[in-house]
Amino acid sequence: MGRTPTRRALLGTLATLGAAGLAGCNALFDDGESDGTRREDGTESGSEGSGGAADRTSASAGTTAATASFEQTVSLGNPHATAGYVTVAVESPAGETAFVESLELAPGERRPVVARLPAPGPYRVVAEAVDGRRGTFEWDAEERLDGLSLTLSAEGFEFWRTAVCRGACRLASGGGEDEGGPPLTGSGVGRWYAPASLVLRNPASAARTARVGVELDGRTVLAATYDAPARTQVEIPVTYRTGEYRVRVDIDGDGDSDGETLTRPWSVPDQPSLFVDLEGRTTGCGPANSELVVLNADDEPHAVSVAVESGGDETLFAERWDLAPDERASVVPVEDSGRYGLRVRVDDGDPFYSSWWSCPPRGPATVIVDATGGASVSQSRL
């Protein structure tokens, strides 16, 4: 109930801005990033149970049913351990409001919404959280792309144009055909409902080309060439099958740098998405869910020590907290997404070790001291 007055004030502000056409976009707006639930065949079933009138407001003050003919998906995500109330607005070059959406996102939640725009072309996006975090983005909406992704970050928002490339999509070009057509069907080991995907990210202002090869047990699963437009992430659903994959990405140069080849192992489904930065020539597992919460759920005080280690056993972070009953502490010990090791010690007891994936589909992690004085690591799965 404590959040209600703030939300009402924000919605009132949005109503005023909608009537004024969001002149200059000098207004409050908030963002997040979101994914719908996917069935086993990879199709989206939408978001259930969280899109009602109580936590969502949508408007399109500058767009009528007659002019809204171009649909794009705007995905909003909140990788943090606390809920976020966000608003995103899209403004046309003429200063008209083409789209406004307000959502309350649970910790770790990502949700897609449909934006009906008048036509492809340039738009200005303004996003703001209820706590004042803000971001803007110049969005060139193209027919060959699917939409826009926004993720609530520590200081503002992260923006990407998005495309999902299944089979012979508009971004797939010559240089190879996949054998059998991904995504590869499951093997019966485990059961999961969204395909593991390779995501090509191009943060540069110029387009790039990536030649992709994926192998499993010596068999080619995918061999194709993809265009990666500027400021765009291209998602390629690859497989439903558990296994240890080998990924090769040949990245063309952009005129300022030579091309480069990246070769990486990829463990599925432990890492549901392998992200490749075509400019930095690095790999990861998605937007970092790097917030770590330490909670003393016991009715006695405890000293809790936590260390974060890299895959090479290098200590990246170490801290100790003296926590009263029901007290919690929150920290962001790393910036990059990936798999880390956690070493946890309660009082003067023996330490225990756990893995921490700081990336989707896992949400924020919590170290919990229970009523016995023991500790465990809990991490939600989106």
275 lies in some domain: yes
Distance CA 308, CA 294 (A): 13
pLDDT of 135: 97
pLDDT of 46: 39
pLDDT for 184-242, tens place per residue? 776 655 556 788 999 999 999 999 999 999 999 999 999 999 999 999 999 999 999 99
Residue 59 sits in the same domain as residue 131? yes
Residue 247 sits in the same domain as residue 229? yes
Residue 331 sits in the same domain as residue 199? no
Residue 256 sits in the same domain as residue 328? no
Residue 252 sits in the same domain as residue 127? no
CATH, residue 197: 2.60.40
74 lies in some domain: yes
150 lies in some domain: yes
Beta bridge partners of 344: 306, 352
pLDDT of 191: 53
Nearest to 247 by CA among 226, 277, 274: 274
Residue 77 sits in the same domain as residue 141? yes
pLDDT of 382: 59
Q: Report how many domains make up the chain.
A: 3
224 lies in some domain: yes
Domain boundary among 264, 284, 304: 284
Domain boundary among 268, 284, 300: 284
167 lies in some domain: no
Distance CA 209, CA 226 (A): 6
Nearest to 96 by CA among 11, 160, 17: 17
166 lies in some domain: no
Residue 20 sits in the same domain as residue 92? yes
Residue 200 sits in the same domain as residue 245? yes
Name the stretches of the chain with pLDDT < 70.
Answer: 1-68, 174-182, 186-192, 253-259, 381-382
Residue 204 sits in the same domain as residue 319? no
Instruction: Please give the span between the terminal C-alpha atoms of the chain, in angstroms, as a whole number.
Output: 25
Buried b / exposed e over 33-46, threshold 16 CB at 10 Å, is: bbbbebeeeeeeee
Handedness of CA 223, 227, 230, 232 (dihedral sign): negative
pLDDT for 138-168, tens place per residue? 999 999 999 999 999 888 999 999 999 987 7
Residue 314 sits in the same domain as residue 359? yes
Distance CA 341, CA 325 (A): 26
Taking the model in full, what pTM does it have? 0.72
Range of the domain at 77: 4-161
- The CA distances from residue 359 to 60, 128, 281, 335, in Å, are 33, 23, 19, 11
130 lies in some domain: yes
- The CA distances from residue 17 to 61, 123, 150, 291, in Å, are 9, 17, 21, 33
Residue 67 sits in the same domain as residue 120? yes
Domain boundary among 129, 161, 193: 161
Q: Do residues 13 and 20 lie in contact, with contact meaning Cβ atoms separated by under 8 Å? A: no
pLDDT of 167: 73
111 lies in some domain: yes
Take residue 212 and report the two structure tokens written for it. 């992709």
Residue 11 sits in the same domain as residue 153? yes
